[in-house]
Structure 1
Amino acid sequence: MGDVKCFLETERSNPECAIGVPSSEISSPNSGRSSQLPGLTSATPKTTRTTTTTTTPSRFIAPLPPPPLACPVPGKAAIVATRQGCLDLELDEEVAQVGHNHKRSNPTNHGGGGLDAWLPITESRNGNAFYSAFHSLNSGIGFQALLLPLAFTILGWTWGIVSLSFAFGWQLYTLWLLIQLHESDPETRYSRYLHLAKAAFGEKRGKLMALFPIMYLSGGTCVALITLGGGTMKLFFQTVCEGTTSCLANPLTNVEWFLLFTCTAVVLAQLPNLNSIAGVSLIGAITAMTYCTIIWVVSVTHGRAAGASYEPFQPKSDIAKTFSILNALGIIAFAFRGHNLVLEIQGTMPSIQKHPSQVPMWKGVKFAYLLIAVCLYPLAIAVYWAYGNQIPQNNGMLYALFKFHGKEISRVVLGLTSVLVVINCLSSFQIYAMPVFDNLEFAYTSKKNKPCSRWIRTGIRAFFGCLAFFIAVALPVLGSLAGLLGGIALPITLAYPCFMWIQIKRPQRYGAMWFINWGLGILGMVLSFLVIAGAVWSIVDRGIKPNFFRPS
């Protein structure tokens, strides 16, 4: 409200204050009407006074000058003038800000309304830039980084580095888009990727486009983590017990190792909400950076493997070569994951008009992806330099480390690397399972109109763990489908954010942002279909032993 100028005049002069109140409403002593503006009540009781108006002041008493009332500072309102004086009613900015916060923190559109306070993603909103960095690191780096050198065996040095750099810049740009879109509506916080997709594309179309890739990416990643984590537990056990016959007399089967990993993950999953696993994400980020560093340092230290070649893999036909290249691009796309979680992470932060959540979120993401780049580039380049085309096609760099250096380096290093991989898999399981937990609890709370009890929440998470374990045992090949997973998740990472920006922000037609987002969005969708086709072709051409219910 702009500055309001009000003068308090005495009873000896004109009793009307210049704020637009009619004189008839404030000068009549017997009118019986309130002298205040409608909707405002005075704290003082109403009294009736008889006023004698004189035209000439007393010769002994000097007339009182009309004391001016200081004008209020901008941002405060309002001033009420009456016959008795002017009444200040100050509404501080922070009072209005409280209402603003309430609307943003408890969205009514696409954000779950009052249910947000009951769901694990938005149950706690006390996150900060550090939490953002921890969660982004944990979700953005992990076992998929161990598969990056496989892409170089197909693309070679030049195209491998170019593709990796282009994908890194592209996904960082779409991350920025999602962070900006989180609060694109002043009264709504889109704290889930699915809700933003519905707001951009419509209720039915958004659900159709985003629900399956999001759930497939979260659930498929958890299944792959069970496969890798259980297999790495077995490697650690064999490394520690090497040369000890009594220890290896009755080893656990692969299914039992998977079960052990799943039980550990389910116990850790009892932490109530996304903010409560910030420490788990920090541990997962540290372990991932550590084992990535150990692998590339060991590879460089021991020099090039005998017979290592850098000639790109040459399939039998041109069609097979094309699809192999597309599969390699899918592996690179799969290395940059976490876009299905960025809005969820930002939803754990407080947000007010002066301090929106996008500021600390972007700070945390920039720091996290700086560390991710420091880990991914040396790992991909140094490992490819050390082993060339001899990198195992199905198991990634962890098994290559045991294959090439199992006899050369100490068991302490091998055992430590295995333990770090297991801890990282357990940590990544928590953050990738959180959207699934959130959806299952949303189904319960929206039907029952009450929050999940501790036992219901425990049961939901145990159920998901059992389901993921069953799929890991029934379909143990999911750990080898990095290209296919990358192709399915590619629109979530590279295409949908561009289209959502166009739909919600409405950039100027034929402007720079309009061309950039349309171009990247269409390119992302085309690449997604081609990468999926290439991954399926590579699976058929190379062949994968299904081993249903017999994980090896």
Structure 2
Amino acid sequence: MEIIVPSNKNHFGSEDENERYEEEIEKDNWIAINSSTRNAKWWYSAFHNVTAMVGAGVLCFPYSMTELGWGPGVTAITLSWIITLYTLWQMVEMHETIEGKRFDRYHELGQYAFGEKLGLWIVVPQQIMVIVGVDIVYMISGGSSLKKFHDLLTGENKHLKLTHFITIFASVHFALSQLPNFNSISGVSLAATIMSISYSTIAWAASVHKGVQPNVQYGYKSKNKVDTIFTFFSALGSIAFAYSGHNVVLEIQSAMPSTPQSPSKKPMWKGVIAAYVIVAFCYFPVAFIGYWIFGNSVDEIILVTLNKPTWLIAMANLFVVIHLVGSYQIYAMPVYDMMEVVLVKKLKFKPSWYLRFLARNTYVAFTMLVALSFPFFDGLLGFFGGFAFAPTTYFLPCIIWLVTQKPRRYGLSWFTNWVCIVLGVALMIVAAMGGLRKVIIDAKGYKFYS
């Protein structure tokens, strides 16, 4: 609903009260997620959701298949696509579950379901873990892809380490972090969507061109039963990591206009369907064709396995870098919003460019520092995918739906939500265990900033 500032300064009883009101409006319009930018179209939803979901994790799908095997792998990827589309629909529907009220942030929906304080404590820590975790992993994978691009074109330089490329990747975000809201990064997000389709297509098409490798094997690589079980768990977390758009979907929908005749959920859902078609086009061919062609010999990131033709694989790595630039900013926007709300609403700082510059660049610097310190890409995918992504993506929307919508007990909706909750909780436990074990193993003998 548009807010109109009254022209009569005595409307609020005094000039001071009117000035305070105008100051609050100024603060509301300054923060990242606000009511003054509700002019997005349905296609904004499409490419924002693709950018948020299709990340470098898709390039790990063939490797995850080696840890899962054909049956469990196909089941996990397909079932995750179905479950997360269902829970995403729930969140889109609940954005305006109360007439005249919009839940523009995930934690606002949580507060409505669980109460002001409890809802905040349930949602915010999980959402922050997801968003910060994604941005840290994207720092690592962005730097890794940039290094691969450099090495393919110029040859490996022993003086240039992964840490240097992570720093270069991070430097772009110090500038892009100053774009104020979702609408302002729509161009970056559109470019990221095009890049994600491009490098996914290159990954599976180049695999088909190579053909099934001689003596290809599909059995579990590890002969140790314990290792097989824990890598299986970690692979489930990597798949969960790839379905993470729920953590920014309400914030994306907040930019949509809405009227009683045409609520925001209509264009938003249209965009989500388009996004999920693109997600399927990216995920399924890369995972299944990559594993079919290379079997257990596939590398952690399939583009590493595809060394030829050099120019094409170099281009694919560059596309990954460009896509991750957009993905990082999509996930960072809710964090920027949280920081700005605290700074101007709670701590009473005056909105200004230098406040935004300091706050947002502090966040970028933090994620860069953690990425430089702990560049364990695959283990982090599994750990964050299980510990943080599974709750906010697979079963928290279902719990909120049961609390707020109160479907008939033992009905189809009630049963469906409980199945998602049980599967999501199980995923959270086992994937976090597998991912944490892999991080610990990868950390042995690692030298900081090497």
Match of 1:237 in 2: 150
For residue 377 of structure 1, report the CA deviation from its aligned partner.
Answer: 0.5
Indicate the SS of the match to 2:333.
Answer: helix
Question: In 2, Cα distance between the equivalents of 1:208 and 1:530?
Answer: 23
Give the partner amino acid of 1:121.
I
Question: In 2, Cα distance between the equivalents of 1:320 and 1:207?
Answer: 38
Name which of structure 1's ranges 216-225 and 364-373 shifts more when overlaid on structure 2: 216-225
Does residue 1:462 correspond to 2:361, yes or no? Answer: yes
Match of 1:447 in 2: 346
Does residue 1:256 correspond to 2:164, yes or no? Answer: yes
Does residue 1:185 correspond to 2:98, yes or no? Answer: yes
Is contact 2:386–2:431 with CA below 8 Å preserved after alignment? yes
Is contact 1:220–1:478 with CA below 8 Å preserved after alignment? no
Is contact 1:101–1:353 with CA below 8 Å preserved after alignment? no
Indicate the SS of the match to 1:185.
Answer: coil
Query: What are the within-5 Å matches in structure 2 for residues 523-542 of structure 1?
Result: 523-540=423-440
Match of 1:414 in 2: 313
Give the partner amino acid of 1:278.
S
Does residue 1:280 correspond to 2:188, yes or no? Answer: yes
Match of 2:15 in 1: none
- Per-residue CA deviation, residues 463-506 of structure 1 (Å, 9 max, x unaligned), is 11111111111222255421111102101001000000111112
Question: In 2, Cα distance between the equivalents of 1:315 and 1:452?
Answer: 59
Is contact 1:141–1:288 with CA below 8 Å preserved after alignment? yes
Q: Give the one of 219, 222, 231 matched to 2:132.
A: 219
Question: In 1, Cα distance between the equivalents of 2:234 and 2:379?
Answer: 12
Structure 1: runs of 5 or more not aligned = 1-99, 104-112
Q: Per the alignment, do residues 240 and 523 of structure 1 end up closer, same or farther by CA in structure 2, a change over 3 Å counting?
A: closer
- Per-residue CA deviation, residues 173-215 of structure 1 (Å, 9 max, x unaligned), is 0000000010011132111111111211223322222222211
Give the partner amino acid of 1:313.
K
Does residue 1:350 correspond to 2:263, yes or no? Answer: no
Does residue 1:119 correspond to 2:24, yes or no? Answer: no
Name which of structure 1's ranges 413-422 and 510-519 shifts more when overlaid on structure 2: 510-519
Q: Per the alignment, do residues 384 and 495 of structure 1 end up closer, same or farther by CA in structure 2, a change over 3 Å counting?
A: same
Indicate the SS of the match to 1:352.
Answer: coil
Is contact 1:326–1:535 with CA below 8 Å preserved after alignment? yes
Q: Give the one of 161, 166, 178 matched to 1:270.
A: 178
For residue 221 of structure 1, report the CA deviation from its aligned partner.
Answer: 1.2
Of structures 1 and 2, the one with the larger relative CO (CA 8 A, separation 6+) is: 2
Question: In 1, Cα distance between the equivalents of 2:439 and 2:336?
Answer: 31
Match of 2:323 in 1: 424
Is contact 2:38–2:254 with CA below 8 Å preserved after alignment? yes
Name which of structure 1's ranges 251-260 and 264-273 shifts more when overlaid on structure 2: 251-260
Question: In 2, Cα distance between the equivalents of 1:119 and 1:451?
Answer: 11
Q: Give the one of 391, 400, 422 matched to 2:298.
A: 391
Name which of structure 1's ranges 324-333 and 337-346 shifts more when overlaid on structure 2: 324-333
Query: What are the within-5 Å matches in structure 2 for residues 138-157 of structure 1?
Result: 138-157=51-70
Equivalent residue pairs, number? 428
Match of 2:224 in 1: 316
Indicate the SS of the match to 1:283.
Answer: helix
- TM-score, scaled to structure 1: 0.73
Structure 2: runs of 5 or more not aligned = 5-23
- TM-score, scaled to structure 2: 0.89
Is contact 1:477–1:546 with CA below 8 Å preserved after alignment? no
Is contact 2:376–2:439 with CA below 8 Å preserved after alignment? no
Question: In 1, Cα distance between the equivalents of 2:447 and 2:250?
Answer: 36
Question: In 2, Cα distance between the equivalents of 1:253 and 1:532?
Answer: 29
Is contact 1:118–1:451 with CA below 8 Å preserved after alignment? no
Does residue 1:518 correspond to 2:408, yes or no? Answer: no
Q: Give the one of 393, 398, 408 matched to 1:493.
A: 393
Give the partner amino acid of 2:301.
G
Indicate the SS of the match to 1:481.
Answer: helix
Question: In 2, Cα distance between the equivalents of 1:537 and 1:510?
Answer: 38
Match of 2:17 in 1: none
Question: In 2, Cα distance between the equivalents of 1:491 and 1:228?
Answer: 24
Does residue 1:370 correspond to 2:274, yes or no? Answer: no
Question: In 1, Cα distance between the equivalents of 2:445 and 2:269?
Answer: 42
Does residue 1:296 correspond to 2:296, yes or no? Answer: no
Indicate the SS of the match to 1:351.
Answer: coil
Larger Rg: 1
Is contact 2:55–2:324 with CA below 8 Å preserved after alignment? yes
Question: In 1, Cα distance between the equivalents of 2:364 and 2:435?
Answer: 27
Give the partner amino acid of 2:399.
F
For residue 346 of structure 1, report the CA deviation from its aligned partner.
Answer: 0.3
Identity %: 34
Question: In 1, Cα distance between the equivalents of 2:99 and 2:365?
Answer: 41
Give the partner amino acid of 1:396.
I
Give the partner amino acid of 1:455.
Y
Indicate the SS of the match to 1:349.
Answer: coil
Query: What are the within-5 Å matches in structure 2 for residues 54-73 of structure 1?
Result: none
Give the partner amino acid of 1:507.
P
Match of 2:235 in 1: 328
Query: What are the within-5 Å matches in structure 2 for residues 3-22 of structure 1?
Result: none
Match of 1:133 in 2: 46
- Per-residue CA deviation, residues 128-177 of structure 1 (Å, 9 max, x unaligned), is 10110110110110101011112211222222112211111000000000
Give the partner amino acid of 1:520.
C
Q: Per the alignment, do residues 242 and 441 of structure 1 end up closer, same or farther by CA in structure 2, a change over 3 Å counting?
A: same
- Per-residue CA deviation, residues 203-247 of structure 1 (Å, 9 max, x unaligned), is 33222222222111111111111112122222222222249xxxx
- Per-residue CA deviation, residues 427-480 of structure 1 (Å, 9 max, x unaligned), is 111111111111111111113556621121122121111111111112222554
